[in-house]
Structure 1
């Protein structure tokens, strides 16, 4: 079965530490971390590494890392007493080994080995190369009595928010973006307060009415970053009982020039989302995704008989091209998770609107 990194992530158990107030059934943690954009080279090929470091204990960090042209995450841990690490890819086929040290600005510098090649990753020269984030993890139990008798139910919440600290992008753009992604927080301390207030409001609305196990999770991830655009991928998960929860993802992109939200709707990028030549390219990419099968199962999913595949309503950015992602149940079963393909900029250039804000990506 194929799962995206975010789909796997939401199936992991919640890890909650600490206590909230006097309720010994309530457990909460709000670990904070930083996102870094790092640059390295293998020969003449430049590598961009998206790195998240989250301090979850006094001298303990968890690490998530991915290359800018991939959706596959490498995960691991480091201890401050021993800054060496092994990051394993989700499918455990590849790994990154190395060590980390920090410069005078506490920016990480990685000395790594990838496919037996030594690669050093240094701070990127991009105008925006670091963001802060905070995660709130909360779990509380409740005893209820109903027609099934007395029983215990669980309420779980996991949420995270990003915040852009001072950087080389202009103040107005930074504040405008933070108004959206950080609920208008003015600094990192304020962000932690905002996310706690948001949770308290949600709990107050739902707590007395809860009658079944309930779970909410929302994850932000930097999906693409250059000197003009910052784009997030947001994963939302909800569970209200039953065989499984519901999960969906969505993009959220910003202009680093003025902080405005950029459309990720396919109809705003392409001249004609029904262009048969464009759709045939997408279908051929799905054939490759399906390891050479004829992709008929995607056209026949749900008992339908389509002549061609439909574009997802939204698109995502990738270092190599445009990424198309279908939600669970759109063209395949829930068990397959998110199905995604990437088409390079050159292949898609003839179909892109001339006035699109993303047009410069197709002119490289």
Structure 2
């Protein structure tokens, strides 16, 4: 599978796909409620944003970027934490040609494509995930995804400048599995209301993204293509007032190559992508190739920010290869934290065997066992990849490690309390298990 198809699968895993069906009476109630909220906000002198253009203006969303917010509020009558992502809906397979700034043609070298900087014509998409609500039926955290131009979600800011988001927990993603979401969602049709969580030192992260493409005509006149895509995070101090400036600088030195703002980071991304092409062009044999390195937020609290780094490589053949790894950073000192399992757990022989037995037992359920290689169970080695989440540890086995490619990564979620006996008390993650 090429990256151009795979990227939507990856975004689907992180952001989710959803659906909602409503009767005429419910629609009438929602419309009335929305109108009342709008009138109330206007009376309070707030700017209301409900479509792509007005949300861009309200948030100051920069071109070729994604905005992430940590929210607090309610879905229905239940208090919830929300992770909000807003991004440009660039239908990559279709719109590359219509989104280029210029094309440099060369009869020998092919062409170089630069994505244009002005992307204000692209519609915006929104996803809200509830990190504290695991939906067993979905096999993921509860979430929904929607186009902003559906005008079903209202954005505003309070007197302190913090983002407020409200609407109905409803799917409006044209490429999502609406029936699946409608059958599985816990909160379909519920009203939600969130505000940016100003109690956290880090409650907003911006991601700059860039894409570089080049095609080459070989001696035998065959044309091969190269593509490189990056999405990297940057912490903007103006949006995170409680995070000390020296910590912001330290985080950005590691995450954003020291960039001070989004345009500077985008220039660095373009340079990295061109360096990828330079290395590719020096290969003796050229072939269709795609590379990607993309970050997203996995978890944020008062102590740490944990990111997921998604990497993809396609170098000819039937399909590409992807992997995910965790990058976590302390919000107290800006240091990068270990992502090694042996630093999280005290894995002496006894603990290691007990952990393997626990993981084996979980994988022996029908949900997993039918996907695994016959020789996988019982497990002989601990997984090398894990993520910290709001609810526990997510163990990950990458493609081919314990299962065929067709099943993708195998993920296993274990609550913190079930793993408490293995934890190294000196681990920076020990507090998540109630040990600090």
Q: State the TM-score, normalizing by the size of structure 2.
A: 0.67
> Deviations for 1:181-222, whole angstroms, at most 9, x for unmatched residues?
101112222212221222223223333546110101121110
Distance 1:234 1:329 in 2: 19
List gaps (5 residues or longer) in structure 1. Answer: 13-29, 85-98
Q: Does 1:204 align with 2:249?
A: no
- 2:404 is the alignment partner of 1:333: yes
What is the aligned partner in structure 2 of residue 311 from structure 1? 382
CA RMSD of aligned residues (A): 2.7
Equivalents in 1 of 2:348, 2:81: separation in Å?
Answer: 31
Q: 1:287 aligns with which of 364, 377, 380?
A: 364
| Alignment-derived partner of residue 118 in structure 1 | 191
1:227 partnered with 2:302: yes
- Structure 1 partner of 2:151: 83
Contact 1:323 1:343 in 2 (8 A): yes
Alignment check: 8 A CA contact 1:266 1:273 kept: no
- 1:207-240 CA deviation, whole Å, 9 max, x = no partner? 3546110101121110010010100011100001
1:58 corresponds, among 117, 121, 124, to 121
Greater displacement, 245-254 / 45-54? 45-54
Deviation at 1:11, TM superposition (A): 10
**How far 1:141 moved relative to its partner?**
1.9
Once residues 67 and 182 of structure 1 are traced to their aligned partners in structure 2, the CA distance between those partners, rounded to angstroms, is: 27
Residue of structure 2 equivalent to 1:354: 425
Return closer, same or farther for 1:51/1:309 CA change in 2, 3 Å cut-off: farther
Pairs aligned (count) = 318
Map of 2:336 onto structure 1: 261
- How far is the alpha carbon of 1:165 from its aligned partner? 0.8
TM-score by length of 1: 0.79
**How is 1:89-108 mapped onto 2 (pairs within 5 angstroms)?**
99-103=153-157, 105=161, 107-108=163-164
Provide, for residues 230-281 of structure 1, a one-character-per-residue CA deviation record: whole Å limited to 9, x for no partner: 0001110000100011111111000000000101211111111753222222
Shift of 1:35: 0.8
2:173 corresponding residue in structure 1: none
- For residue 57 of structure 1, give the secondary structure of its aligned residue in structure 2: coil
Stretch of structure 1 that moved more, 322-331 or 164-173 = 164-173
Deviations 1:5-25 (A, max 9, x none): 97813899xxxxxxxxxxxxx
Distance 2:419 2:259 in 1: 38
Higher-strand-fraction structure: 1
Structure (1/2) with the larger helix percentage: 2
**Partner residue of 2:73?**
40
Distance 2:216 2:249 in 1: 40
* SS of equivalent residue, structure 2 residue 222: strand
Which residue number in structure 1 is paired with residue 97 of structure 2? Answer: none
Looking at structure 2, the residues matched to 173 and 308 of structure 1 have their Cα atoms a distance apart, in angstroms, of 41
1:343 counterpart (402, 408, 414):
414
Higher mean alpha-carbon deviation, 303-312 vs 260-269, is at: 303-312
